[in-house]
A = this chain, B = another copy of it.
Amino acid sequence: MQLTPPRTLHEIASIINAEYTGDPETTVSGINEIHRVEKGDITFVDHPKYYRKALSSKATTIIINKKMAAQNGKALIFSEDPFSDFVSLIKKFRPFKEASSMISPDANIGEGTLLQPGVFIGNNVNIGENCLIHSNVTIYDNSVIGDNVIIHSGAVIGADAFYFKRRPRSYDKLESCGNVHIADNVEIGANTTIDKGVSGTTTIGKGTKLDNLIQIGHDTIIGKNCLFAAQVGVAGCVNIGDDVILWGQVGVQKDLTIGSGAVVLGQSGIAKSLEGNKTYFGSPAIEALEKMKELALIKKLPSVIEKIS
């Protein structure tokens, strides 16, 4: 998320009551977790395994749980619990705002867009022109929706990322401060859920069509003109190209990339990144032709074994 107006390093460090190295006037213009970090952003790191990644990222300021000299020109804020301090900043700069009505008075709704009864629209939502939002749809705060978008009943746009940090006796929630962006000409099926980004934007590309009861995880980016059949589940931080077709009940694990033009047959489970323009099947999925051969071989096994014996 953008910080508007930007703050200084000194102001940020004061909020979480922490020491720091770097120019106190360093500008902090955004809050982002490591996957979506940009120049000017503050991020956090709390495990030595990821120190190098954080210190070589685009972030300008890093909350870190080890005292060290400034590196790579980064400003560093020292914290015993960077996760909790990061969450504190999110809570301060994007506190949950109770809704005052079913449709927030600050919603920006384009001409020709129709909201059926029972639609909930949170704070600071932008919806383009000529959309049709069916009854009992929920659109959380800060969502951005393009023109000519159809959203069917019961769909939930922008619920929190499913992102927790394990503690010895419980989980801590990483408060999501990101949002969802649905581009022009998208159609979203009934009871489909699209989570907001942790700090960035979950994106559904132009012309993509999602069927019913689909799950799209936080920070996932889906390209143009994709077609996902019912009950597909895509985890968080997945990058999907254009013209990708996922048939019913396909599952996609987090942090993967699926190339443009890939087709995945029904009930497949995607456990690693896939090249585009190929067809896949199975759980875990491999190229469909290979899978078909495998299935045929298994069918012939009894006679093969008998012959060999």
**Chain B residues closer than 8 Å to A302, beta-carbon distance:** 293, 297
Chain B hits for A118, CB < 8 A: 102, 118, 120, 136, 138
Contact residues of A: prevailing secondary structure: loop
**Given that A233-B248, A269-B266, A309-B308 are known contacts, is A189 also in contact with B227, CB under 8 Å in the complex?**
no
Number of chain copies forming the complex: 3
Q: Which residues of the partner chain B approach A132 to less than 8 Å between Cβ atoms? A: 96
CB–CB B154/A160 < 8 A: no
With both beta carbons as reference points, the residue of chain B lying nearest to A135 in the complex is identified as B120
A217, A229, A301 pick with most chain B CB within 10 angstroms: A229
Cross-chain contact of A99 among B135, B185, B209, B284 (Cβ < 8 A): B135
Q: What residues of B have a CB within 8 angstroms of the CB of A99 in the complex?
A: 116-117, 135
1/0 per position for A278-309, CB-CB distance to B under 8 A?
A: 00000110000000011101110110110011
Q: Which residues from chain A sit less than 8 Å from chain B, CB to CB?
A: 96, 98-99, 101-102, 114, 116-118, 120, 122, 132, 134-136, 138, 140, 150, 152-154, 156, 159-160, 162, 164, 169-171, 173, 185, 187, 189-191, 193, 195, 207, 209, 211-213, 215, 217, 225, 227, 229-231, 233, 235, 248-249, 251, 253, 266-267, 269, 271, 283-284, 293-295, 297-299, 301-302, 304-305, 308-309
* Residues A215 and B213 in contact, CB atoms below 8 Å apart: yes
**Residue from B159, B294, B298 within 8 A of A212 (CB atoms):** B159
Does the CB pair A193–B298 fall under 8 Å?
Answer: no
* Chain B residue nearest in CB terms to A98: B114
Minimal beta-carbon separation of A109 from chain B (angstroms): 14
Residue contact B233 to A230, C-beta cutoff 8 Å = yes
